[in-house]
Chains A and B, each alone.
Chain A
Amino acid sequence: MAARTEKQKEMEALSKATHFSEEEVQRLINFFETVASNGKLDRNAFRDVLHEHFNLTEASMMDRLFRAFTNSAESTINKHDWVMGMSLLLRGTLDEQIDFVYRVYTNSAEDYATKPISRDTMFFLLKNTMVKIQNEEERDEGIKELVDLVLKKMDVDHDGKLSLQDYRESVMKDPLLLEALGDCLPNEGSVRTFMQVVMNTEPPL
C-alpha cells in the first residue's frame, strides 16, 4: 500500500513538473519500460526511439539530445529524466524549447546559459545541410556562408558568437529559427502519432 502511494506521489510530482496529465505520465513510463533495460535507457536504445518514432537520423544530434536528457555526463537515462525530457520535446512552450534546443546545440549540461555557440560549432552542426552539392570545396564554402547567414540573422550583440540571449531574442522575433542549426525537435505529425502509440502502451509483463 505504501509503495503505491509513493508511486502515486511520484506521478503527481512528475505531472506537475511537466505538461502531462498523470495518466499520460503513467503511459510514458510504461513506454519507457518497454524500451529500457533495467529501468535505464542507454544511448543506443534512445537513438532507436528517436529514429523510429521521430525520424531523427543525425548521429551527432541524437547524441546531443541524449546529453540534454540526462542533463549531465551520465551514460543512461532514468525514467525521471525521460518524462521531463519528453515534456520538453513534445509539448514544450516556446520559452522552454529555446532553452532546451540551446542546450542541445551547445552539448552542455548545467552551464549552458553561459556557453556561447562558436563559428566552429555552427560549422559542425550544419555540416550535413548541403546534401546535394557533391564537390567538397563548394560544400564547405556553402556551409561557411550558411554560418555567416545565421550569425547575421541571429547575432544580436555582434560579437561573432551566438549567446543564449542572442538566440532567444532572434527566435522570439522569428519562431522558424528555433531549429536553425539543425532539426532536433520532432515535427507535429510525429508528435501526434507518438502520443497515440504511448497512450496505447500497456506496462510490460
Chain B
Amino acid sequence: MGVRISRLNTEDDDAVEQLITDLSALVATHPIEAEMAFEKPLEWTTSITPEDLSGMTHEADEDRVLLDLTQDHIIVGSLQKLQHVLTMAGSKKVDELKALMKENEDPLANILGAAYGGGAKLSSIHASLDDSLKAQNGELVTALDKYELDGADDMSPVTSSNAQQQQQQQEDDSQEARSVKAMQRAEAEMSRLRNVAGVDDDDLLEELDWETSITFSNGLRVPPWKQADGSLGHILANPKDGDRFYVMAHVDGFWEIKGPDHATGDMNTEQVGSAYNSLMELLRAKSPIFEEGVDKASFAPKLAFLAEEDERAQSGRMGGRGQDSSRRAYRPSRIWLTEEDEDSVFDQSKETLEKAMLVPCERWSSFGLQLDTPTSPSPNKSSTLRLMRSGLINSRRMSQTSSAWLPIHSLQTPTAAEDFSESDESDEEEDIEERRMRQADLPPEYWSIQKLVRYLSGGNVTATVIALSSLRDHDLTSEIAQFAIRDVGGLELLINLLDTEEDKCKIGALQVLKDISLHPQVKKAIAEMNGMRPLVAILESPNDQLKCLAAITISHCANFPRNRRMFRYYGGITKAVELLRIGAEDPSKLEVARCGALALWSSSSSSKNKEHILKAGAVPLLAELLTKDDIELLVPVVGVLEECATSQAYRDLIRKYNLTPFLVANLSKDNKVLQAHSAMAIFKCAEDPATRRIVRECGGLEPLVRLLNPAADTLLLEGVTGAIWKTAYDADNIAEYSRLKAVEQLVALLRSSSEAVLMNVAGALGQLATNTDSCRLVRTAGGVEPLINLLTGTNAELLINVTKAVGRTAQLKDNIDAIDKLDGVRLLWSLLKHSNAEVQASAAWAICPCIKNARDAGELVRSFVGGLELVVGLLKSSNQDVLAGVCALIAQIAKDEENLAVITDHGVVTMLSKLVRTTNDTLREHLAEAIANCCTWGNNCVAFGTEGAVAPLARYLKSKSSAVRHATAHALHQLSRDPENCVTMHQAGVVRPLLDLVGATDRSVQDAAARCLGNIRRLALCNEMNRYG
C-alpha cells in the first residue's frame, strides 16, 4: 500500500475503493499502529459535515491533533481517524480520498516523516534508515507494507531481498488460498456424504463427521500451526462393516491416520495406507458395504448424488470416456430412456438433491448435533470455555476418543455409579419424535428469530442484550420458536451465556430458556449439553431475579430424567432447599421460595431425589411455608409434599410436623389445582392409620365429600376419592361418611371415564359397604349395575377393588337378587381364572357371601359349567390369600350335598389335607371351616384321617386367633364321628383345649366342642368295655 499510495491514479475509482478497503483492513488488524499520530497531519478541503461525525469534530492526543473539522476544512492525524472519517462519510468517501490525494502530494511523508517520502518502496527506505527512526516507525511500516503486494502497479526496483520476501509471501498466501479452497471442497463432500450416514437401514455408513466442530476464521479445522503443512482437518468415520477409523483431510488428498492416542489424548497423524483423491474413494476402499451401496445408487435423491459423484471420479479415472456411456454404466436399474429424457430426469434429481441438501437432515435434530457455525471466541464470554463447549457437542462420541479438545467439564462428567444408576426409574429417554415442516412452510417468524440468534454469537454484550430483549417479543412457547432457535445453534449459545459474568446476559438468556424449555426436545437437548451445571450454579447468585429464573427453568427441564440426575449430581437439591429457607425466613422473598419449590417438585419424581430432598432438611421449611397465605406459593409446596408422600419417611415427618390440618384447610381454598394436590397428598398420607383419624378430627371428611362433583377435574376427583377410600379404613370414619351421605355421590362417579377415579371409588364403596345402611344405599342409589359392568374390565387393580365392593355389597341379603339378576356371580366366577392372583383371591372372597345368602345356592353353583373343577383346581395355588379365599368358598359350596359330592370326586379331600400344615391364621380358619363342611359327605371323614389331616389340626387349637379355634372346634367335631380320628385326636392332645372351648361364648362352638369331647369319651368308654368285658 505504501507504493500504491504514492502512485495512486485518482481517476481510477476502483483503485481508490480498493485502497479504502485495504485501509480498513489494516486498521482492523493493527489497531495500535493505526492510532499512532502522523508526523504531520493530512489536510484537505472537505464536504463532510459535523452531522456525519455525530458531532465529534475535534479530537486530540496531547499536543497532536488527531481530528479537526471546521467549515469545510478537515485535518486528520492518524490512520484510525482517517478510516473513521471515511466510513462516516458514507457515499462521499471516494471523493474525500481523491480530495485528500490531490491536496497532499506525498502522504507517506506526512504519515511517517520526510525520510519516507519520494515514492520508493517503504521497506527499502526503512531498511536504510538509522535505528531510532526504525524503532519509532517499524510497526507502522510493516503494517503498510503488508498491503503493498496487492496493488496492481508494483513498478519499484526489486532488490534481491525483496524478491525473496515477495516470493515467500506469495507462497504463503497461495498456500493458504489452496488450503481454503480444498477445505471448501472437503466440506461440501462431507455434508453430502453425511446424508447417508446414520442408523437407518438404508444408510451406507454408521457415522461420519469432523472430529471437531471448531472452525477457525479461514474455515479450516486444525490450528494454524498445523495448517502450514497443508492439513485441513480430521474426520471420524464408522462404516457399517468395520471399526471406526480416522481420516486426515489434506490439501493433497485424504488418507487414514492412526487416530487419537489414548494416553495423551493427541491425534496421531501417522499415515496408514495410501492416499486418495476424494473422501468417497477412500470410503469405497475401506467399506465394501459402502461401495456396494454406491454402485447400486438408484433414483432416490439421497443417493443419486453418490452416483453422480462417483461418475465424476470414474470418468476421471477412465480418462474421459464419453459422459453418456459412463452414466449408463452406473445406472443398471434404470429403464433405458432416450438421451433427452435422461438429461431432464437427471437434472430433476439434481434439483431435488440440491433442495434436499439445503434442509438440515431431520435426524440431526434428534441427535442434538448443531449446524457448524464458525464459533470464534468472544472477548466477553469465557473464550476457552466456549471453545471447549462446542467440542462438547461431539463429546458423546469423543468420550471414548480422548481428543485434545476435551473440555475439563466433560472429564468431570459424572460416572459415579451410585449416583447414576436409577434402576427404580423406568427409562423414559426414548428417541423423542419430531414433526418437521417442509422448508417452504416455515413462517417468517422462524427466520426473524434465527436472525436474532445470530447476534448472540456475533455481537458483544450490548448486542446480546438487545437481541435477547427482542427475542422475547416473539411467542417463545410456540413450537416454531424452539425449532428456530435450535436449528441455528441457539441453545448452545444461550447456555454459554449462563457462564458469563454479566448479569444482564444471564437474565436475558434465562428468560428465553425458561420459555423454550417447555418443549420435550429442548429438555433433551439441554441434558445433552450438560445445561444443568450452569443452571445449578446460578441458584447461588446474589441476585434474586436470577435465582428465580434459574429455578423455574430447572423445573421445566427436570421433567426429563437425565436432567433430574444431573440436578442431583451438581448439588442442585441443597441449593434449591436453600431457596426455600430464604423465603421462609424473609416474608418479602416468598417468590424465591416458590421458585425453589417448583424446582424441587419437578425433580422429586425421581426416588433418589426424594431421599436427597429429605436429607437436605426440606420438610421443616415446607412446613413453615405451608402456613403462609399465598396460594401461588402453596401449590408447589403441596406438590412437593404430595410427590414425596409415597415414602414412609416423609409420611412420618408430615405427621411429626402436624401438616395434615393444613392440607385439609387447603381443600376449602378457592384454587382447583391446590385442592387437587392437597387431596392427593391426603390420599397418600392416609396409608397411615393415625392420619386417618387426624383427618376426621380436623374436619376433613366433609370437604372431601363436598368435592365429589362429577363435573370436577379428573386429578381432583382422583385425589378426593382416593382420600375417602383410604380414610374409610377407619371405622369411625365410615360412620361419619354414612352420615354425610357419601355413598350416593360416589355411586354417581361410577360413570367416570378415568380408571384411576373408578378404582378409588370402588375401593371407597367397598369400605363403606361394611356399614349396613350404606350397603343398602349402594343398591338403592343404583350402584350395583355399574359395579357389575366393571367386572368385565382388564385393569387388575380396578378389578380387585370392584370385586371387593361387590362382595361387601352382597353381605346384605336384599342385594343378592340385584347382583344375581345382572349375572354378577357368573362374572365373579370367571374372574377366578384371571391371571393375577390378587384378583383371584378377591373374587373368591366376593363369591362367598353371594352363595351364602343366595336363595338357591346349590342350583346357582351348579349352573357354572366346570366351575367346581375350577375351584378345586385353585387349591394348587401358592398364594396364601387365594387359598384362604378358595377354602372359604369351598366351605360354602360344601353346604349343598350334591355339590359336595362333585368336589369330593375332584379330590378336594386330598387337596385340603395337603394344606393343613400351614401356620397362616386366615388360611387355617377357613381351611378348618372347609374341612368341617366337607366331612358331611360319605367317607370324607375317614378320608381326612387317612390323609393325615387330623393331627395337625390339634395345633390350631393353640392359635391366638379365636376364629381359628372356633372353626377348628367345628372341624374336630365333624371328624370325631370316625373312631380312628378320635384316637388320633386324643393322642394329639385336643382334650384340654376343647374343654376350654366348651366355655366359649359362641353357642355353636360350645356345642361343637362338647360333642367332640363326647365322641372321644364314648370311644374311650367303648374301648374300656371291650377290654374289661
Residues in chain A within 8 A of chain B (CB atoms): 60, 107, 120-121, 124, 126, 128-134, 136, 142, 145-146, 149-150, 152-153, 174, 176-177, 179-183, 187-189
Q: Is the CB of A183 within 8 A of B467?
A: no
Tell me, rounded to whole Å, the shortest Cβ–Cβ distance linking B746 to chain A.
Answer: 52
Q: Is the CB of B217 within 8 A of A130?
A: no
- A142 neighbours in B (Cβ, 8 Å): 455, 458-459
Q: Is the CB of B55 within 8 A of A153?
A: no
- A182 neighbours in B (Cβ, 8 Å): 462
- A60 neighbours in B (Cβ, 8 Å): 56
Tell me, rounded to whole Å, the shortest Cβ–Cβ distance linking B415 to chain A.
Answer: 34
- A107 neighbours in B (Cβ, 8 Å): 55
Tell me, rounded to whole Å, the shortest Cβ–Cβ distance linking B198 to chain A.
Answer: 32
Residues in chain B within 8 A of chain A (CB atoms): 21, 24, 28, 51, 54-56, 217, 376, 378-379, 451-452, 455, 457-463, 465-470, 472-473, 501-504, 507-508, 542-543
Contact of B378 among A124, A132, A181 (CB under 8 A): A132
19 contacts across the A-B interface (CB closer than 8 A): A120-B51, A128-B460, A129-B459, A129-B463, A130-B459, A130-B460, A131-B378, A132-B376, A132-B458, A134-B217, A146-B459, A174-B469, A177-B466, A180-B465, A181-B462, A187-B503, A188-B503, A188-B542, A189-B501
- B24 neighbours in A (Cβ, 8 Å): 136
**Bound-complex Cα distance A81 to B21 (A):** 44
- A181 neighbours in B (Cβ, 8 Å): 462
**Bound-complex Cα distance A107 to B452 (A):** 29
- B469 neighbours in A (Cβ, 8 Å): 153, 174, 176-177, 180
Q: Is the CB of B467 within 8 A of A149?
A: yes
**Bound-complex Cα distance A133 to B457 (A):** 10
Check A132/B465 contact, CB under 8 A, given A153-B470, A188-B543. no
Q: Is the CB of B462 within 8 A of A126?
A: yes
Check A150/B459 contact, CB under 8 A, given A131-B379, A179-B504. no
- A133 neighbours in B (Cβ, 8 Å): 458
- Sort A-B residue pairs by CB-CB distance and give the 8 closest, nearest first: A129-B463, A124-B54, A129-B460, A129-B459, A129-B462, A132-B458, A149-B470, A133-B458
- B463 neighbours in A (Cβ, 8 Å): 126, 129-130, 146
- A145 neighbours in B (Cβ, 8 Å): 451
**Bound-complex Cα distance A129 to B462 (A):** 7
- B451 neighbours in A (Cβ, 8 Å): 145
Check A146/B455 contact, CB under 8 A, given A128-B460, A180-B466. yes
Check A176/B468 contact, CB under 8 A, given A129-B460, A130-B458, A142-B455. yes
Q: Is the CB of A153 within 8 A of B457?
A: no
**Bound-complex Cα distance A124 to B451 (A):** 21
Tell me, rounded to whole Å, the shortest Cβ–Cβ distance linking B591 to chain A.
Answer: 16
Known: A130-B458, A149-B470, A188-B543; 18 extra A-B contacts, CB below 8 A, are: A124-B54, A129-B459, A129-B460, A129-B462, A130-B460, A131-B458, A132-B376, A136-B21, A136-B24, A146-B455, A146-B466, A174-B472, A176-B507, A177-B466, A182-B462, A183-B461, A188-B503, A188-B542
- A176 neighbours in B (Cβ, 8 Å): 465, 468-469, 504, 507-508
The SS class assigned to the B binding surface is helix
**Bound-complex Cα distance A152 to B465 (A):** 14
In chain B, what residue has the closest Cβ to A129? Answer: B463
Tell me, rounded to whole Å, the shortest Cβ–Cβ distance linking A45 to chain B.
Answer: 14
Tell me, rounded to whole Å, the shortest Cβ–Cβ distance linking B542 to chain A.
Answer: 8
In chain B, what residue has the closest Cβ to A137? Answer: B21
**Bound-complex Cα distance A60 to B88 (A):** 15
Tell me, rounded to whole Å, the shortest Cβ–Cβ distance linking A182 to chain B.
Answer: 5
**Bound-complex Cα distance A59 to B250 (A):** 44
In chain A, what residue has the closest Cβ to B24? Answer: A136
Interface centre among B457, B472, B504, B507 (most CB of A within 10 A): B504
Check A179/B458 contact, CB under 8 A, given A134-B28, A152-B470, A188-B503. no
**Bound-complex Cα distance A189 to B542 (A):** 10
- B543 neighbours in A (Cβ, 8 Å): 188
Q: Is the CB of B457 within 8 A of A132?
A: yes
Contact of B501 among A150, A153, A180, A187 (CB under 8 A): A187
Tell me, rounded to whole Å, the shortest Cβ–Cβ distance linking A60 to chain B.
Answer: 8
Tell me, rounded to whole Å, the shortest Cβ–Cβ distance linking B384 to chain A.
Answer: 16
**Bound-complex Cα distance A134 to B858 (A):** 97
**Bound-complex Cα distance A177 to B473 (A):** 13
Tell me, rounded to whole Å, the shortest Cβ–Cβ distance linking A63 to chain B.
Answer: 8
Tell me, rounded to whole Å, the shortest Cβ–Cβ distance linking A12 to chain B.
Answer: 32
Q: Is the CB of A120 within 8 A of B54?
A: yes
In chain B, what residue has the closest Cβ to A63? Answer: B56
Tell me, rounded to whole Å, the shortest Cβ–Cβ distance linking A120 to chain B.
Answer: 6
Tell me, rounded to whole Å, the shortest Cβ–Cβ distance linking A186 to chain B.
Answer: 11
Tell me, rounded to whole Å, the shortest Cβ–Cβ distance linking A67 to chain B.
Answer: 11
- B376 neighbours in A (Cβ, 8 Å): 132
**Bound-complex Cα distance A174 to B379 (A):** 26
- B378 neighbours in A (Cβ, 8 Å): 131-132
In chain B, what residue has the closest Cβ to A178? Answer: B504
Tell me, rounded to whole Å, the shortest Cβ–Cβ distance linking B314 to chain A.
Answer: 39
**Bound-complex Cα distance A177 to B502 (A):** 14
Contact of B459 among A124, A131, A188, A189 (CB under 8 A): A131
Interface centre among A149, A152, A177, A181 (most CB of B within 10 A): A149
- A130 neighbours in B (Cβ, 8 Å): 458-460, 463
**Bound-complex Cα distance A174 to B469 (A):** 8
- A180 neighbours in B (Cβ, 8 Å): 462, 465-466, 469
- A179 neighbours in B (Cβ, 8 Å): 462, 465, 504
Interface centre among A121, A130, A136 (most CB of B within 10 A): A136
**Bound-complex Cα distance A188 to B541 (A):** 12
- A177 neighbours in B (Cβ, 8 Å): 465-466, 469
**Bound-complex Cα distance A176 to B461 (A):** 11
- B51 neighbours in A (Cβ, 8 Å): 120
Interface centre among A128, A142, A176, A187 (most CB of B within 10 A): A176
In chain A, what residue has the closest Cβ to B454? Answer: A142
Tell me, rounded to whole Å, the shortest Cβ–Cβ distance linking B540 to chain A.
Answer: 14
- B501 neighbours in A (Cβ, 8 Å): 187, 189
- A150 neighbours in B (Cβ, 8 Å): 466
Contact of A187 among B455, B502, B507, B508 (CB under 8 A): B502
Tell me, rounded to whole Å, the shortest Cβ–Cβ distance linking B508 to chain A.
Answer: 6
Tell me, rounded to whole Å, the shortest Cβ–Cβ distance linking B63 to chain A.
Answer: 13
**Bound-complex Cα distance A60 to B462 (A):** 15
**Bound-complex Cα distance A150 to B452 (A):** 12
- B468 neighbours in A (Cβ, 8 Å): 176
**Bound-complex Cα distance A107 to B50 (A):** 15
- B462 neighbours in A (Cβ, 8 Å): 126, 129, 179-183
**Bound-complex Cα distance A67 to B98 (A):** 35
**Bound-complex Cα distance A128 to B55 (A):** 18
- B452 neighbours in A (Cβ, 8 Å): 149
**Bound-complex Cα distance A153 to B508 (A):** 15
**Bound-complex Cα distance A131 to B469 (A):** 19
Tell me, rounded to whole Å, the shortest Cβ–Cβ distance linking A137 to chain B.
Answer: 10
In chain B, what residue has the closest Cβ to A132? Answer: B458
- A124 neighbours in B (Cβ, 8 Å): 54
In chain B, what residue has the closest Cβ to A122? Answer: B54
- A129 neighbours in B (Cβ, 8 Å): 459-460, 462-463
- A136 neighbours in B (Cβ, 8 Å): 21, 24, 28
- A134 neighbours in B (Cβ, 8 Å): 28, 217
Tell me, rounded to whole Å, the shortest Cβ–Cβ distance linking B476 to chain A.
Answer: 15
- B508 neighbours in A (Cβ, 8 Å): 176
Q: Is the CB of A131 within 8 A of B460?
A: yes
In chain A, what residue has the closest Cβ to B508? Answer: A176
In chain A, what residue has the closest Cβ to B27? Answer: A136
- A146 neighbours in B (Cβ, 8 Å): 455, 459, 463, 466
**Bound-complex Cα distance A78 to B467 (A):** 38
**Bound-complex Cα distance A181 to B461 (A):** 10
- B56 neighbours in A (Cβ, 8 Å): 60
Tell me, rounded to whole Å, the shortest Cβ–Cβ distance linking B188 to chain A.
Answer: 21
In chain B, what residue has the closest Cβ to A121? Answer: B54
In chain A, what residue has the closest Cβ to B472? Answer: A174
In chain B, what residue has the closest Cβ to A184? Answer: B462
In chain A, what residue has the closest Cβ to B378? Answer: A132
